[in-house]
Structure 1
Amino acid sequence: MSVSYVERPGGRVAYEVHGDGPLVVLSHGMGENRGSFRHLVPLLVAAGYRVATVDVRGHGDSSAGWPTYAPAEVGADLLAVVRDLGGGPAVLVGSSSSAAAVVFAAADAPELVAGIVPVGAFVDQVKPNPVMRVAQALVLRSPRLFGMFHKTLFPVTRPADDAAYRRSMVATLREPGRMAAVRGVVAPVGPHWTARAAEVRQPVLVLMGARDPDFRDPGAEARAARRLFATAEARMIDDSGHYPHADQPERTAEQLTAFLKVVHTDA
């Protein structure tokens, strides 16, 4: 499948499209690329959806060197992709850092967004202790260390091709400007997504891996996210870490397709 690009102020955003049907746009977390969804895409296509996987600005095949990586701007990139594909409306699925982006997109352009699915959303802005700050600084400057950190986010099981994907991911992160993009995602400017959640009137599905190591209590974090929206439900993916679409794609697809059916029935 060929890669398409949409021009944005400061660079261009790459995306890839599979299948036919109602539009679903998938957006990955920091340091990753659209290959993060390689196991989920075929399941959604088989269920009758047109699926666009996006390389977040500064990642994958998207250009490097952006002036900002704020989630509001990433959300605007996703809306640009939706417009480029005919205007949707689309369901936006955002993993990890992109969970914030889909909230901004839904609030800013409700006519283009039928619903959103934040996956592994960070509700609280936790300040790391001094030791964690040092460790974070090292990881965010080393593609190799980032790859090692990425591996820890699969505490239960990993895809069979996980090692190959991680090698490819790390190779991309070694390109000029890529680790700067990762650091930009970690320390964005502008309001936190929680300040805009109440403006979202579309259906929302909060997904969280039940064993996500990024949270002390993943279930509590998912419920906290759910309560911020006008219309939302929270679902846990058993035996899953921070990337349920990668380590439990079938269970994730089951939850997503059930949500998508409701969204399009109510539309």
Structure 2
Amino acid sequence: MSEFVEVPGGRIAYEVTGDATGPLVVLAPGMGDLRTAYRHVAPALAAAGYRVVTTDLRGHGESAAGFASYTVGDGADDLAALVRHLGGGPAIVVGHSFSGGTAPLLSVREPSLVRGLVLVAPFARPVSPNPVMKLMARLVLSSPALWGMYYKNLYKGPRPADFPAHLAAIKTNMRERGRMAAARTMGLDTKPEMAGLLPQVSVPALVVMGAKDPDFPDPRAEAETVAAELGGPAEIVMIDGAGHYPHQECPAETTEALLRFLRQVAPTGDGVSA
């Protein structure tokens, strides 16, 4: 069931499943996606005793559109508001792609709210697109149809059986007023807030990367760079055969990696409720 937390300029949609007394795990999707991106992962985390929260990004899903800005910093503020609304955590925050930048930024800005990070195919560093890349990004993010074509191309592993329905839901959502513009703004964000940030992250982190992720010239090298720059203990899990969406292409392997990390950082029954 959808619930909402009010933030300056609008509201953020989320859904809670699992053990109400278990450690809090917040799952944030990437740009141009919905919180149902975690539909093949969240049930297993909930069954393992965690309080699992999936959230829509601002401008996406059931969250409000029409915000004044859509930066990585805005996303971190939204996550902070959500964790506080849910009792203050501390939470393990899972961020994919764009949210792979908001999650570590949150941990630096609000360290009391975060006890661990999982960064899935993260854009966790500033980006400097050349003019051709900027033009392509504007084109891809100009319509739901073009975004859908690009989104499909980011899957290099097996697509789940319900992929057509998920993609149709994304495109339907993107046709709503203000949502395509929100995704476009996020996609063109150069993420200046991320400059020099990763060394300030002190909580344990897991970097999950699809070995065939087309968003990075060398996915393993990107994962290793992010892990090396993080200031706290970090490990890497490469998902063979997966592209940019390992949590959808290879959910069993991704869930196994998540649960292994969660049990290390926030074991259920440890006396800490969230």
- How far residue 194 of structure 1 moved from its aligned partner, in angstroms, is 4.3
Corresponding residue number in structure 1 for 2:156: 155
- How far residue 126 of structure 1 moved from its aligned partner, in angstroms, is 4.1
- How far residue 94 of structure 1 moved from its aligned partner, in angstroms, is 0.3
Contact 1:24 1:50 in 2 (8 A): yes
- How far residue 197 of structure 1 moved from its aligned partner, in angstroms, is 1.3
Corresponding residue number in structure 2 for 1:45: 46
Match of 1:237 among 230, 236, 239: 239
1:13 pairs with 2:12? yes
What TM-score do the two structures reach when normalised by structure 2? 0.92
1:256 pairs with 2:270? no
In structure 2, C-alpha distance between the alignment counterparts of 1:17 and 1:237, rounded to whole Å: 27
In structure 2, C-alpha distance between the alignment counterparts of 1:57 and 1:207, rounded to whole Å: 24
- How far residue 129 of structure 1 moved from its aligned partner, in angstroms, is 4.8
1:228 pairs with 2:229? yes
Equivalence map 1:56-205=2 (5 Å): 56-122=57-123, 123=125, 125-130=127-132, 132-188=133-189, 191-205=192-206
- How far residue 187 of structure 1 moved from its aligned partner, in angstroms, is 2.5
Question: How many residues end up aligned between the 2 structures?
Answer: 265
Corresponding residue number in structure 2 for 1:32: 33
1:111 counterpart SS class? helix
Deviation track 1:221-263 (CA, whole Å, cap 9, x = no partner) reads 0000001112211111112110111111111111111111111
CA-based RMSD: 1.6
1:181 counterpart SS class? helix
- How far residue 212 of structure 1 moved from its aligned partner, in angstroms, is 0.7
Deviation track 1:37-92 (CA, whole Å, cap 9, x = no partner) reads 11111111122111100000000000001111111110111111111111111000
Query: What percentage of residue pairs aligned between the two structures are identical?
Result: 46
Contact 2:89 2:113 in 1 (8 A): yes
Deviation track 1:185-214 (CA, whole Å, cap 9, x = no partner) reads 123376342421111111011111111111
In structure 2, C-alpha distance between the alignment counterparts of 1:13 and 1:161, rounded to whole Å: 25
- How far residue 128 of structure 1 moved from its aligned partner, in angstroms, is 3.6
In structure 1, C-alpha distance between the alignment counterparts of 2:192 and 2:156, rounded to whole Å: 31
Contact 1:194 1:228 in 2 (8 A): no
